[in-house]
Chains A and B, each alone.
Chain A
Amino acid sequence: GAGVSQSPRYKVAKRGQDVALRCDPISGHVSLFWYQQALGQGPEFLTYFQNEAQLDKSGLPSDRFFAERPEGSVSTLKIQRTQQEDSAVYLCASSSSGLSNQPQHFGDGTRLSIL
């Protein structure tokens, strides 16, 4: 498809397990973003890549969260030693250029539930 693709759509993990969430941005899009959305809230920024460079990771809530985009295309968000408060929808977005005020186009997210 032409949009941002995220997998898996749903992930259930036990507390303490590690999880990996994948994002395929729109082909050719330079910028890639990760957001976390709690129920009934707006998305909260986690991190930003321009090509393979992670330019901003100020929104990552702890050092258990790690993101990478090694070839400037697909990105993975990894959460180590998951905790219940990590339960949320994780959204990925991409935009066509490195300019800051371009629209970001979102995928449908991964719903993560930590038991």
Chain B
Amino acid sequence: EDQVTQSPEALRLQEGESSSLNCSYTVSGLRGLFWYRQDPGKGPEFLFTLYSAGEEKEKERLKATLTKKESFLHITAPKPEDSATYLCAVQWESRNSGYALNFGKGTSLLVTP
């Protein structure tokens, strides 16, 4: 079964309209939860790592939070250049050697002027 689920699959926002993306996971022994941004034709670009419940990290208009079952990526007052696919990935102790990133399918974000 899917162990990393992202929602919504797609999201369309007006410029300045804040929203949140969700990543839920069903693993135990979490080593880290990672957020990436991916533009068309490019590789994923690292944004944040979260290690434990209650942790928060911020970068410009983005803020990532983590609970025991899910993570949120909050986008405040987005701009058209924030349009991209946002990927969540989880690393946990019992999966492979514990080094593999296990990705969700991503949320495709479109911000219109």
Complex contact A40–B98 (CB within 8 A)? no
Q: Could you tell me which residues of chain A, from 21 to 61, have a CB within 8 Å of some CB in chain B?
A: 31, 33, 35, 40-45, 48, 55-56, 58-59
Complex contact B99–A33 (CB within 8 A)? yes
Size category of the B interface is: 20 to 34
Given A42-B106, A108-B41, A103-B34 contact (CB < 8 Å): yes
Q: How many A-B residue pairs have CB under 8 A?
A: 71
Q: Mask for B28-56, Cβ within 8 A of A = 1, else 0? A: 00011010100001111110010100000
Given A91-B44, A108-B42, A109-B43, A100-B98 contact (CB < 8 Å): yes
Complex contact B43–A91 (CB within 8 A)? yes
B89 at the interface (CB under 8 A from A): yes
B78 at the interface (CB under 8 A from A): no
Residue from the list B31, B49, B97, B105 in contact with A42, Cβ < 8 A: B105
Nearest chain A residue, comparing its CB with the CB of B9: A40
Measured CB to CB, the closest approach of chain B to A96, in angstroms, equals 12
Residue from the list B46, B100, B102, B103 in contact with A48, Cβ < 8 A: B100
A7 at the interface (CB under 8 A from B): no
B87 at the interface (CB under 8 A from A): yes
Q: What CA separation (Å) do A31 and B96 show in the bound complex?
A: 15
Q: What CA separation (Å) do A58 and B95 show in the bound complex?
A: 10
Complex contact B42–A45 (CB within 8 A)? no
A101 at the interface (CB under 8 A from B): yes
Given A42-B87, A43-B103, A55-B97, A105-B46 contact (CB < 8 Å): yes
A104 at the interface (CB under 8 A from B): yes
Which B residues are in CB contact (< 8 Å) with A100? 31-32, 91, 97-99
Residues of A within 8 A of B (CB): 4, 31, 33, 35, 40-45, 48, 55-56, 58-59, 91, 93, 100-101, 103-109
7 A-B pairs within 8 Å (CB atoms) are namely: A43-B103, A48-B96, A93-B101, A100-B97, A101-B49, A105-B46, A106-B36
